[in-house]
Structure formats: structure tokens, C-alpha cells
Structure 1
Amino acid sequence: MACSLVTIACQAEDSMLCKLSQPHFNASERASRYPSSLDSSTPLGEYVTMTTSSSKPDLFDPSSLAALKVSDTIGEIVRYQAEHRMDEAWCYLLRGLDPGEPVQFGMLYQEAERVAALLQELGVRPGDRVLIMLPTGRPILQALFGTWLAGAVAVPTYPPLLLPKGLLHTLAAARATRTYTPAKWAIDRLLRQPLAQRWRQGKKAGQPLMAILEGLQRLSRYVDQQVHICQTSRPAVVIAEQDFAPVCHTAARFLPEAPAFVAASDLLRGTAKFRTPSLDGNATALIQFTSGSTGVQKGVVLSHRAILANIQAFGEMVQPRPDDKVVSWLPLYHDMGLIGITLGSFALGLETYLMSPTDFTRDPLRWIWALHQFGATISVSNNSAIGRLARMCQISPRRFEQHPTYGQGSRLDLSRIRILMNGAEPVTVQAMEAFQREFGQFGLRREALSPVYGLAEMTLAVSFPDLAAPYRVCRQRGEEWVSVGRPLTNFEIRIIDTEGNKLPAGHLGEVTVTGPSLMDGYFGDPKATAQVILDRDGHRWLHTGDEGMIDSAGELYITGRLKETVIKGGRNYAPALLEEVIETVEGVKPGRSVVFGVTDVRAGTQRVVAVVEFAEPHCPEPRRETLMREIRARVDDVYRPAGGTVLDQVLLVVPGTLSKTTSGKRMRLDARERFLRGEFG
């Protein structure tokens, strides 16, 4: 399960130092001020019951929640907004920083109704699944809202945007000649050979061939993901760009009955008349596949009622204002971009600007300058992007002070932002502090930075910080975390021990959650559902697999993943924090390092392994050795091990070697398995 890693503001007690966020001090100073380990058995405060934040901005517009209060389904939300905001602009689809023509509430409803009629004409009934493989743009909005109007279940999936069209044409040829499966097997075997490992490390001539083989391997892994999603969800219809047809048809070959294929360009070509289906809030609206960062992707089943309950709960925390403008680059096929931004802004009636995530990846400055150009008051990002932009600003501040293309000569101004959420992946103090330090000069207020916590299994949001106060940081015994706030209204969070007992404030344990937006379960997998949802005290509790604690003020801190924590010599290491330190070394590619543990039977403990991509495609041997020494020294400088070194093994690999999930998260388990197979040399 995805977690957004953040920390606590807690009561200082005995030898612990825990205070409101202060100017960030350097790594060696931090390490010298604290003992070397964290004692999770020492309480930070008294036993507490968590309550929600009480921040209430003066300009709150109550009418923003009107659609949610009278609707039981997403289709009813769409109809309500079309009736009450017919000609109002809802969102703009950015091309670069050109907003183009607005998508109006009324017009989107008419287009969605035509898509719903087309689906009904194809035989789609309420409850049938519609797989949607589309990038950010008008067609994905038409497909999503049309699916919900028809009473069908939307199954959004990651489109192959980063795969060259040549590879997709190769896949089409392989499918036509029935050579896909044997070719996939041969490529996988070849890439495991010692010769390929030497080529990967750049020690032999063969880089061009390796680039081709690894490109084909990425394609086959992507197809495998889509096959899994198709086999699990069993869609009646697949909606995709025409260019993506080879992937769709290849995946469909593995199904007992092939779904109908609808190209994005044909969505509005149907002539049938739409018939409003009979539906209630308990009907399934969405199957949201998890990112797969902790294992196989699972289909999270969410009802209309669960989704609308979550939107209303975080809407009450955001307290929408009449002048609010939302800018986002997050993809629309994952919960934060789909539910938090797209559905959330539509239901709350907020003017929204949507940027393609591929545009952001190619040039993150576009997002920062979009915040400036459109006067954004609300935005959202993840920790990797925030850390990356902070580094870019530190290295080249002139690109942010004035930009000839994006800024049109004016100075960057972020003073209008009142909420900048950081979530979707583990959030770190270092990234938050660096971002505020670098962009504070452009008017970004510390109070605007809002670390949040949520999970796909809870629809999206679970906790939210107090918008009237700066984010809070707990620094304790050499560790530091950011608070992710308190639970949403009608949600409850408990920290439990391994026996399921509720722990007092300040104790580390597993984070469990209950609330009105809890998933119905994993689609077609009752065994996996029973492992994470347990009945207790008359409620269904989600066991998140995240480790955290609650302080005496009721603030939640996520400290890591229970299964990913590496224990070496009696000391716990959080991979996310080690990776963050590694990526401060010059020459390491940001966001492209992975840390995991492997059992050392002889020593009776775990070894800490880091696989790190260097920034440049070609890195000479002397530079590799220097880089490895710098990485080890930087980590040891922060963690101050009692003896030896923290990282037992550092493997440097070329850019593009490590896999990431469809939402951009690190795949530590995948990297560990590949390490054990010897793929990294």
C-alpha cells in the first residue's frame, strides 16, 4: 500500500528533542546531537484519542459542498454540476503553458452522455468494467465521466507514453507473427547472462545492443502489467489511443473473451440515445489498481459512496474559496490525480488547470511557472518532485527568478498558494525544508506546505494538517519525521502492536485506519482482502502495513514500511531516508536509487544494499569508485554507525536500469529480486 511518509510534532520528554520545524541543520550536526538509535518503546506523551484539525479559513464557500450533499453517485454529481454551472469553466488542459479552450461543466456532461450511450450500444451494463488507457486530455475526461454515467466501473490504467512508437510497432509485428512469447523469454534469458551484465556496467562494447534489449524488456514488462490488469478486471470494453492498440490486443489474447476496443477518436461518434441507469451509492464506481511498489498490483474496489465520502471529508478540510484555482501535473490514472484533483475539483466546483505528467517529467519548471501564471492557490506534488525542484533552484536560481519562456520576464511569484500538498509517496523532512528554503524567496509561505497521508484502500485521503499552522517536524534520537496531521472527519486512526493492541501516544506500531471511504475489498481476491481488513469493535479496520506513531497532540507520523525496514546489528534503517541521503551526492540521478536488505546467514543479521543510477549515461571506472566512496561516506556521516559502515554493498548502474511503478514509486522488492538473480552484476 502506498503511504505518504511524514512526521510528528510531539512533546519533548526526557532525552528526546521534539519541536516545531526549525531551520534545517546539516547532516553531521544532526547525527552528533542524538544517540545512534531510536527506542520505540519510550513513550512521547500520554494516551490520546485523535481529533480532526479545526482550521477554518474565513473565506470558505459553503456552496462548494452543495453537489456532494444531494448526490449518491458520481453520475448525479455530473448532472448536478451541469445543471447549476452549465456555462462555467471547470478545467483547462495545458499544452506547455497554453490553457487553450476551457472544459465547461455543461459541455463535459453532454460529451460524457454520448460516451455513455456508446457504451450502452456496445452492450455495457451497470457493473461491467471499462478499461481506460489514456493520457491526460479531453478524451480521458469523456471516458471516465461517460463510464460513470452509464453505471459502469472505470478501470484506469497507465498508458505507454514513455515507450517509443517504434517499440509499439514491434509489438504489433510480434503479435501478428506469434513470436511475442518466445521473444520475451529469449530476451529475459539473454539479459541474465554474464556478458550482458558486463555490457550493462559499460565494461565491454555493446551499449547499443543493450539499449535495444532493455527497451524490449521494458515493453514486455509493461505488457505483463496490462495482461495482469486485464485478467483481473475482465473488462467489457477497452478505451485507448489508436497507437496503444498493439498493447491492448496483445493483452486481450490472454483473456477467455476479448473486450471491445474503442479508440479515443471514436468516443463521440455513437448515435444511440442515452438511457439513465438505476444505481445507488453502494454500486462499484472504480477499480483502482495499486502501484505494485510492495508486490503484485491489486484492484481496489471503491463504491460511489466511498469516493464521495472521501471528497466531502477532504473538501471540508480544504475549505474551498471562491477565488481558488488548482494546478496539477499528477496523472489521472492514479488516486491522487484522479480522485483528489479531477473528481475533487469537479465536485467542489474549483477552477482547475491540468498538466500532462510527461510534460512535467521533461521540464519540471513548467509546473512552477504554471503556479505563477494562473495564480494557483491549491496544488499537489510528490516528495521526489519537490526534492528535485529544490535542487534545481539551488543550482540555478536564475531559471526561477525570471524565465524568458514561461515567466515572460517577470519574477516568479508563489505568494498566492495557500495549500501545496505533498503526498502519494514517502515525504521527508529534507525535501520539505529544502523546498521551503529555496522557494520562500519567491513568496511561498511555510504554512502553505501541507504533508498529507492516504492510501488507495481508503479511496485517497486519511489525514490532513492544520492549514493555519506550519507543518510540524519531530527530531528524535537521530531520526526526523514530518506530521501528516490528523484524521479526516468520521475517520479514526490507531497505532497497534503485533498482537493487535492499541498503543499509547509516542509508541511506534502499525497504522490502522477505519472510515466511510474504506474499500469494499480487492477485486477477485477475498484472501488478500481478509489479510488487510479485520473486524474489531464493530468496525472494519484497514491494516496499512505502514509504521507510525501518534504524539500527545494527536498528530500522526509515518516512519516507514513495516516490511521494508532493514535491521542491521540491532538498528533499524528506513530505506526512504537512506535513499534521500544517497541522492545528495553529486553524480547520482535524483529519484533513481533503491535500498533494501538481504539476509546474511553467517552474521545473523541483514546486509544493507544500495543500487544507484549515476546521472550520466557513461561513467568511467575511476569516477565510479570515487562515487561509491562518496555515497558510503555521506550515509555514514549522517547515521554514525558504531562500527563499520551502513551500506554493505553499493552497486552503480546506468540510467534507466531500475524499474518504477506506474505512479513513479521505487520498486524495492523488484530491485531486491533482480539483485538476488544477479542482474546488477
Structure 2
Amino acid sequence: MEKLIDNPTIPSSNYSSMIDLLSHKAIIHPEKVVYTFLSNDNQDETNITYQELHMYAKQIAAYLQHLGLEGQRALLMYPSGIDYIKAFLGCIYANVIPVPVYPPGLSRNMERLKAIMDDAATNIILTTTQLHSKISFHFSDELSNMNLKWIPIDDISHDYQDQWSQPKVDKESLAFLQYTSGSTSSPKGVMVTHGNILHNEAMIKAACQHNEDTVMLGWLPMYHDMGLIGNILQPLYLGAKCVFMSPMDFLQKPFRWLSAISKYKATISGGPNFAYDLCLKKITDEQKMQLDLSSWEVAFNGAEPVRYETIQKFAQTFKDCGFKLNQFFPCYGMAEATLFITGNEKLTKPVSKGFCKESLLENKAIERPINSEDSVKLVGCGMTWLDQKVEIVNIDSLSKCASNEIGEIWVKGDSIAKGYFGREQETNYAFNNT
């Protein structure tokens, strides 16, 4: 760390780990607020500075080191909020492998939790005292024979921060496990390294033209890769700031999202396509009169298909609020590539084309006029950035597809994760093809 301390202008590409990254940002931006969490209908703020975040990470890490947990995996079970971020970075500082999960609220969430615990081979859960009590009460029968080790971080003494010992980690070291949705199979833990994170954050910075003055605003779940890599770690990488609210606050009242963008002059925010549809359905004409969306330079749209009708209607509906179509940033990614794979050029209108319905069913992409009856309207998800490469592959011949042929998306670059935790056969199939 000494070289980083002596040189405050060191580029982010020279960091060897997320520990180096936050430690250095805490030195050059000690009093700068890195995260603001909104609550009570966006009326209340909870803030944390870079220096405070660094100190909390050391405090939690030292306690985890005291428990002898270095190298082990630990589930992070928190509602959206600053405690989640403290715990995640505390694990990183201790070389404990965090496993973000969603707190159980329904029986199916408990089943998913059990599946992840079995797959990650861990019984360690970091949480808060309040959430631990709540879960223990509602799921006492399910938890009775699971031999869990609960660690509420709000019980950890501040004295521990002076006992922290920086672990030996580098770009090849495992940083965290990001579990896939499990919608088509059992959840798989993607092994994301420190190097994967740093490379992916560099790509996002390049694509979105971010800098220290960028203001991010998000509501995405923190256990999800888009919420974690995009909303939490990107501002940290930049030395910038993120304002965020809980997913439930957005879902209950989508106006809160756009209102916060207006209030905090956010330059980047976004989510899946459904979020923009929800705004179109729920935000009234009276509410629109209160919005100024002109600061919003990057309205990213990813994690599910980007709908032509949605982006066109959203741009038209919020035109008088200062929003333009070229603020949309269609993008594509997956957990196996840390997060970001491709994205539109900043402030460039999304590319939309029409394709023959029947030909698509035959794995052929034949263009049609976008408004013709037999066309399917598709939105492009941009291009690759930095040194990452993408090919469209015919999986039968394992060769590059022709320009109008539909195939499988293959990606190569330093953002590609190490594989699936404990699943050698599935790792070979998904990660080691040529």
C-alpha cells in the first residue's frame, strides 16, 4: 500500500485488489460522501464517507480474522442499506469470501437459501441483530437443525479496527461468489476475482465516460450483480458518489426514483426494462411536472430484453421533463462475466431494427422495415469495450456465425470469472470452450 499512499494520482488499473482500491480512496477522498441511502419517502438520508467506510471495513475484517474465518465463505443476509456494503467490504478486507443472498421472506426464498448454503459449503451468516431475531422467529423450525453461525456486525466493537491485518490477496484471488438466479437450474456460485471486478469496473467507466464527478442513483437489489457491481462498486472505483433507495421503495412508488434523479442531479441510473414500463404506468401527469431529468446522461437498460416500444414511449412521455432518447444506454451482461459485456455509446441513440419473424425461428436474421407487419422490433445492446472480445458462435460447428446467422454469445476477456464454485464439469462446459 505504501506506493499507493505516496502517489494519489495512481490510475485505477494499477490496483491489485479491492482492498488497495478502497484504502487509497479513503486517503485521497477521506471526507467525501461515497454513499447516501434514502428512506422515509426520500426525506431521510444516511451518509457514509470514504474514510468511514474504510474504518468500518477494517473493524469488521479484524473481527472476522479474530474468529479465524479467512478463506471461508460467508452469506451476507441484509436488507438494502449501508450495513450490507459495510459487511461486503469487511469480508473483502478479511479475505472472507462474501456470498450475497436475499433475506428469506417466503418459503421459496428459504429453499433457495438452503440450496446456496449447501452449494457454497458454509453455515456462516453475516447479518444485523434485528434481522437475525426476525428470521429466527419466523423460520425457527427450518433453522433448528442447520447449525448456523450468525454474526451480527452491529455488535462488533470499534476497538477491533486497530487489530486489522491486511491479507495477502491479488488480482487472481477470489473476491466473492455471485449466485445465478437458478430459474432454469439449481443456483451456481460464479467465482469472481479481484481482477475480474477491477477489469469490469474499468469497462463500465470507459463505456459510460465516468469520472469522480459522476453521480449515480440506484434502487437495484444489492445481492444482484447489477446492483453490486454497477451501483455499489462502480462509484468506489471512480471515487464518485451513489445515492440509493431500497427496491421496495421504488416498486411501491416509481416516482421516488425519477424524483431522486431530479433532486440529486444524477448522471447515471437505470434497471431492467420493466422499471421503465412501471414508470409509464404509475407516474401521473401532475408528478411529471415536478421532474427535471436533463442531468440523466446514462439511463442503462439491461438484465432482461430491451423493448423497442418501451424506450420509444418513455422518451416521448418524459420529453418535457428533459429526457431524450439518446440518454438510453441498452446493455448486456451476465454474472459469469462479472457483469458488463456490451453497451451502447454514451448519448448515442439506441440502434433499433426490424427482423422477419419467420426467419428468426430458423436462426436467421433477415431485416425488414421496422414497422412492417411481419417484423420483430429488436434493440441493439451496443458493442464491446477495452480489450474484451465477443463472437457469435454456431454451437454445432463451433465456428463463427455468418453475419445474418443467430448463434450463441461467447465472450473472452479479463472480466470472465474463474468458473462455478465446486462444479468442475459445468465450469469446463461453460468456461473452457474454443
Instruction: Report TM bin, short chain.
Output: 0.7 to 0.9
Query: For structure 2, which runs of at least 5 residues remain unmatched after alignment?
Result: 1-6, 357-374
Shift, 1:502, TM fit: 0.5
Aligned to 1:485, what secondary structure does the other structure show?
coil
2:29 aligned with 1:81, yes or no?
no
- Aligned counterpart in structure 1 of residue 285 of structure 2, from 389, 392, 397: 397
CA RMSD of aligned residues (A): 2.1
CA contact (8 A) 1:128 1:236 kept: no
Alignment partner of 1:118 is 2:6:
no
The offset of 1:67, in angstroms, is 5.4
CA distance in 2, matches of 1:382, 1:308: 23
Distance 1:259 1:276, change over 3 A: farther
* 1:321 CA displacement: 3.9
Q: Deviations over 1:14-35 (max 9, x none)?
A: xxxxxxxxxxxxxxxxxxxxxx
* 8 Å CA contact 1:118, 1:270 repeated in 2: no
CA contact (8 A) 1:117 1:270 kept: no
Q: Which residue of 2 aligns with 1:467?
A: 346
CA contact (8 A) 2:16 2:195 kept: yes
**Residue equivalent to 1:534:** 432
Residues 1:533 and 1:474: Cα distance change in structure 2 (over 3 Å): same
Conserved? CA contact 1:143–1:267, under 8 Å: no
CA contact (8 A) 1:314 1:461 kept: yes
- Please give the secondary structure, in 1, of the residue aligned with 2:235: helix
Cα distance in 2 for residues equivalent to 1:148 and 1:136: 18
The 5 Å alignment of 1:412-431 reads: 412-431=291-310
Match for residue 405 of structure 2?
507
- Correspondence for 2:188: 298
CA contact (8 A) 2:222 2:228 kept: yes
Opposite residue 376 of structure 1, the aligned amino acid is: A
- SS state at 1:379 partner: strand
Equivalent residue runs for 1:658-669 within 5 Å: none
Structure 1 residue 158: Cα displacement: 0.7
Which whole-Å deviations, capped at 9, do the CAs of 1:330-351 have from their partners, x for residues lacking one? 1111111101110111111112
**Which residue in the other structure is 1:239 paired with?**
126
- In structure 2, the partner of 1:40 is none
The reply on whether 1:227 has 2:143 as its aligned counterpart is no
- Once the two structures are TM-superposed, the CA of residue 123 in structure 1 deviates from its matched residue by 1.5
Specify the code of the residue in structure 2 equivalent to 1:425.
E
1:440 maps to a residue whose letter is: K
3-state SS of 2:409 partner? strand
Distance 1:246 1:505, change over 3 A: farther
* Residues 70 and 262 of structure 1: CA distance in aligned 2, closer, same or farther (over 3 Å): same
What's the counterpart of residue 150 of structure 1? 94
The code of the aligned residue for 2:19 comes to G
Q: Partner residue of 1:310?
A: 200
Counterpart residue number, 2:381: 484
TM-score (norm 1): 0.57
Q: 2:422 aligns with which of 517, 524, 531?
A: 524
Q: Which residue of 2 aligns with 1:329?
A: 219
Q: Using a 3 Å threshold, how does the CA distance of structure 1 residues 286 and 65 change in structure 2: closer, same or farther?
A: farther
In 1, distance between residues paired with 2:250 and 2:49? Answer: 24
Q: Percent identity?
A: 27
CA deviation vs aligned residue, 1:73-103 (integer Å, no higher than 9, x gap): 1111111111111111111011121352421
Q: Secondary structure of 1:91's partner? A: strand
Amino acid paired to 1:230: M
Q: Which runs of structure 2 are paired with 1:172-251 in the superposition (5 Å)?
A: 219-235=106-122, 237-240=124-127, 241-242=131-132, 243-245=134-136
SS in 1 for 2:185: coil
Shift of 1:400: 2.0
CA–CA distance in structure 2, aligned partners of residues 298 and 441 of structure 1: 45
For 1:86 and 1:293, how far apart are their aligned partners in 2? 42
For 1:458, which of 337, 340, 355 is the aligned residue?
337
Secondary structure at the aligned position of 1:288 is classed as strand
Q: 1:459·1:519 contact (CA, 8 Å) conserved in 2?
A: yes
- Per-residue deviation, residues 279-329 of structure 1 (Å, max 9, x unmatched): 121111010001122222111111111111111111111112453211100
Counterparts of 2:398 and 2:145, CA distance in 1: 41
How far, CA to CA, are the matches of 1:480 and 1:250 in structure 2? Answer: 50
Structure 1: tracts of 5 or more residues without a match:
1-62, 164-218, 402-410, 537-681
Q: Deviations over 1:352-407 (max 9, x none)?
A: 101111111111110010011111111121111111212334xx322322xxxxxx
Change in CA separation of 1:249 and 1:238 when aligned onto 2, cut-off 3 Å: farther
Counterpart AA for 1:446: L
2:152 is equivalent to residue 263 of structure 1: yes
Are the counterparts in 1 of residues 262 and 291 from structure 2 also a CA contact under 8 Å? Answer: yes
Distance 2:263 2:273 in 1: 23
Of 147, 164, 168, 1:278 maps to 168
1:449 alignment partner in structure 2:
328
Counterpart residue identity of residue 528, structure 1: E
CA contact (8 A) 1:82 1:105 kept: yes
- Aligned partner of 2:349: which letter? P
Match of 2:230 among 325, 336, 340: 340
Give the secondary-structure state (helix, strand or coil) at the position aligned to 1:532: helix
TM-score normalised to structure 2 length: 0.88
Tell me how far 1:136 sits from its aligned partner.
Answer: 1.4
Match of 1:103 in 2: 48
**Quick one: distance in 1 between partners of 2:63 and 2:348?**
49
Q: Is the Cα–Cα contact under 8 Å of residues 67 and 347 in structure 1 kept in the other structure?
A: no
> Which letter maps to 2:21?
I
Question: Structure 1 69/533 Cα, relative in aligned 2: closer, same or farther at 3 Å?
Answer: closer
Q: Judge conservation of contact 1:414–1:444 (CA < 8 Å) in 2.
A: yes
2:370 maps to none
Residue 350 of structure 1 pairs with residue 218 of structure 2: no
Number of residue pairs aligned between Structure 1 and Structure 2: 403
State the AA in 1 paired with 2:78. Answer: L
1:65 Cα deviation (Å)? 9.1
SS in structure 2 at match of 1:100: strand
- Structure 1 counterpart of 2:112, one-letter code: Q
SS at match of 1:94: strand
CA contact under 8 A between 1:383 and 1:426: conserved in structure 2? Answer: yes
